[in-house]
Amino acid sequence: MADNADHIDGDDNEDVRAQQNLIKIKLKSSEGGIYECGLTAAKMSDLVKNMVESLGTDAVVTTEPIILGNEAVTDAALKKIIEWVEFHWDDPPVDHDFEDEKDRRNEELSHWDKQFIDVDDQALLFDVIAAANYMDIKGLVEVGAKHICSKIRGKSCQEVREMLKITNDFTAEEEDAIHKENAWIYAKD
C-alpha cells in the first residue's frame, strides 16, 4: 500500500522533545536570580537554543547556568518568560508551506495568553517584551506586541501617549499637518 512505504519522520521527534523537556537547565537573570526551565521549553528562545547547540546539551545541564545579560531580563521578567515557554513548548509548529504565520498575526490572542500578559506593572510588561526580543522568542514578543496594540486600539494620540508614557516631540503645527494628510481616516463612511 502506498502509505506504508512512507516513513513518518515526526513521530520520534515529538517524543524526543517531550523527553528533553524533562531535562532541566538553569537560566540566570541579569539581576543574578537562577531559575530552572525544561530544555525543550528553553529552546523556544533562539538565543538559548544556539548556545545549547554550540555547547552541547550535557555541558549546559551539568555546568553553570546560562547567563542572560541584557538588563531587561530581570528576575520578574525571566520568571514570566519561563512560565510562557513551559506552557507553549509543545504548540504545533508553524508550517511554512501555508500562511500560518500571517493567519496567526491576525488572530486574537488566546485566552491563556491574554491573562498571562495582562500585567499591571508596565515596566514589567516592557521588560518581558524586551527580554523576549533579546532572547529571540518570537511568539512571546508577538503576545506582548498584540497586547499593547489591543490596548491602544481606537484611542486618541493623547490617550496613547498617557497610557504608554510617550513624550510628544511634535510641534502643534507638525501634528496638524499630519492630521490633515490623514483626514480621510476621520471621514464617516
Partner 1 sequence: MTQEVTQMMESLETTDDGNGDNRQQSKTYAKYSMDRFGDDMCGLILSYLSFKDRFRLECVSKQFQRTVFDSVIDININDRLIRQIQRTTITQTIATIATKCPNIETIDLRGMFIKCEHIPEVLRLFRDNCLNLREVYCNLRSNTAQLYQQFGPLVTRIECNDLSDTVVDTTSGQQLVNNLKTFSFHFYYPNDTQLLSAFVAHNQCLKSVDFKEMYIDLNDTIPEMCGQLSRLTQLRELSLRLGIMNSKTLVANQSLRTIGENCKQLQRLSLEFGSESPVLNVEALDSLRYYCRLKRLHLTINAAIDDQLFDPLRHCKRLTHLELYLPRMTAKAFINCFKNCPRLQYLYIHDFNDIMGAECLDELSRLPALQTLIIFFRRDYDLINNDFSDLFTRSAKLKCIRLHVNNGIKFYYR
Among positions 31-90, residues that touch partner 1 (CB under 8 A) are 47, 51, 54-55, 59, 63-64, 66-72, 87, 90
Stretch that binds partner 1, among 19-27, 37-45, 78-86, 170-178 (CB under 8 A): 170-178
Within positions 107 to 146, which residues make up the interface with partner 1, using CB under 8 A? 110-112, 121-123, 126-127, 129-130, 133-134, 141-142, 144-146
Q: How far is the CB of 68 from partner 1 (least distance, A)?
A: 8
Distance of alpha carbon 51 from alpha carbon 57, whole angstroms: 9
Strands (E), the chain: 24-28, 34-38, 66-67
Burial of 140 (0-12, 13-18, 19+ CB in 10 A): buried
Q: Does 171 bind partner 1 (CB under 8 A)?
A: no
Q: How far is the CB of 95 from partner 1 (least distance, A)?
A: 7
Residue 2 or 22 with smaller CB distance to partner 1: 2
Q: How many residues does the chain have?
A: 189
Pairing of strands 34-38, 66-67: unpaired
Distance of alpha carbon 63 from alpha carbon 59, whole angstroms: 6
Q: How far is the CB of 93 from partner 1 (least distance, A)?
A: 10
